[in-house]
Amino acid sequence: MDGKWSVLATLRAGREQVQLGGSEGAIGAIRSLRAEVPAPVRDEAYFALMDTAMRTGEPASMAVLSRTREATLALFDAAIGQLAARLH
């Protein structure tokens, strides 16, 4: 990217990290982007993931971001879908 990261782009890049096996959980996937993505944007991505989990009735906790690979991919997909729908 050109140095301007959005939350949506960060979520997509984090999902790709999980998909490629670079990380199993969302925390590690987004943390792995720390060289490129500013801390406030990474924090917003974490909050977007927790917000998505809460909308499905799960408690807001960091444990939501440390799930198995498949559950993490599903959470990323849901968060990306939710955020993209708000933008359109």
Which residue's structure tokens are 């998909």?
Answer: 19
Rounded to whole angstroms, how far apart are CA atoms 20 and 48?
Answer: 21
Across the chain, what does the average pLDDT equal?
A: 91
CA dist 71 and 31 (Å) reads: 18
- Distance (Å, rounded) from C-alpha 66 to C-alpha 16? 16
* Closest alpha carbon to 44 in 74, 14, 22, 85: 14
46-76 pLDDT, tens digit each = 999 999 999 988 887 888 889 899 999 999 9
Q: Give the pLDDT of residue 3.
A: 66
| Spatial CA neighbour of 38 closest among 80, 73, 10 | 10
